[in-house]
Structure 1
Amino acid sequence: MYKISEFSQLTGLSKETLRYYAEVGLLEPAYIHPDNHYRYYDDGSYFLALMLGKLRALGFTIQEMKKVMDDESFLQLEQLLLEKRSKIHREIHDLQSRLADIDAFLESGREEDE
């Protein structure tokens, strides 16, 4: 069993994040001491914590993370990853378009100076 500070160092998730994930039902401590309310995590929580950290790094919302964790088959994960991928492609296209607009605007300014 790991105290929250040890588990935080092990997983890279802050203590505040671990407390929040417990509050919203994403990652419950394996044990909470009844006297001092210290939170303890076990090895089984480790994989889940790493998964949550990865999902967050990929831009998943708390609600999306809950969907993934509620679906033990992880079919929901594949669908959400495909949706994220499509969204990122759209954002890249939009940014490239804006970049082209900026370049054109800069170029038109240069032509006027000549």
Structure 2
Amino acid sequence: MYKISEFSELTGLSKETLRYYAEVGLLEPAYIHPDNRYRYYDDGSYFLALMLGKLRALGFTIQEMVKVMEDESFLHMEELLLEKRRKIHEEIHDLQERLADIDAFLESGREEDE
């Protein structure tokens, strides 16, 4: 069993993040001491913590992460990842269009100065 500070160091998730994940039901401690309320995590929690960290790094929202964790078989993981990928491509396209608009606007301003 790992204390929250040890588990935080082991997984790279802050203690605040671990507390929040427990609050929203993403990653419950394996054990909470009844007297001092210290949180303890086990090896089984380690895999889940790493997965949550990776999902967060991939841009998943808390709600999306909850959906993944509720589907304990992870059958829909690929589907969610493909949807996330599609949305990122959309965002890239939108940002490229904005860049083109900015460039065109700057260019039109230069032409007027000449």
Larger mean Cα displacement after TM superposition, 30-39 or 65-74: 65-74
Given that 1:30 and 1:42 are in contact with CA atoms closer than 8 Å, whether structure 2 keeps it comes out as: yes
Larger mean Cα displacement after TM superposition, 71-80 or 104-113: 71-80
Unaligned runs of 5+ in 1: none
CA RMSD of aligned residues (A): 0.9
Given that 1:22 and 1:29 are in contact with CA atoms closer than 8 Å, whether structure 2 keeps it comes out as: yes
The TM-score, its normalising length taken from structure 1, stands at: 0.95
Given that 1:11 and 1:46 are in contact with CA atoms closer than 8 Å, whether structure 2 keeps it comes out as: yes
Given that 1:2 and 1:40 are in contact with CA atoms closer than 8 Å, whether structure 2 keeps it comes out as: yes
- 1:74 and 1:106 map into 2 onto residues whose CA distance is 48
Instruction: State the 1:75 CA deviation.
Output: 2.0
**Residue 88 of structure 1 pairs with residue 88 of structure 2:** yes
Unaligned runs of 5+ in 2: none
Number of equivalent positions: 114
Moved over 4 A (4+): none
SS in 2 for 1:75: coil
- Over the matched positions of the two proteins, sequence identity in percent amounts to 91
The TM-score, its normalising length taken from structure 2, stands at: 0.95
- 1:10 and 1:76 map into 2 onto residues whose CA distance is 28
Larger mean Cα displacement after TM superposition, 104-113 or 66-75: 66-75
Instruction: State the 1:109 CA deviation.
Output: 1.1
Instruction: State the 1:36 CA deviation.
Output: 0.7
- 1:99 and 1:12 map into 2 onto residues whose CA distance is 35
Could you list the per-position Cα deviations for residues 76-102 of structure 1 after superposition, in whole angstroms to 9, with x for gaps in the alignment?
Answer: 211111111111111111111110111
- 1:102 and 1:66 map into 2 onto residues whose CA distance is 38
Given that 1:67 and 1:76 are in contact with CA atoms closer than 8 Å, whether structure 2 keeps it comes out as: no
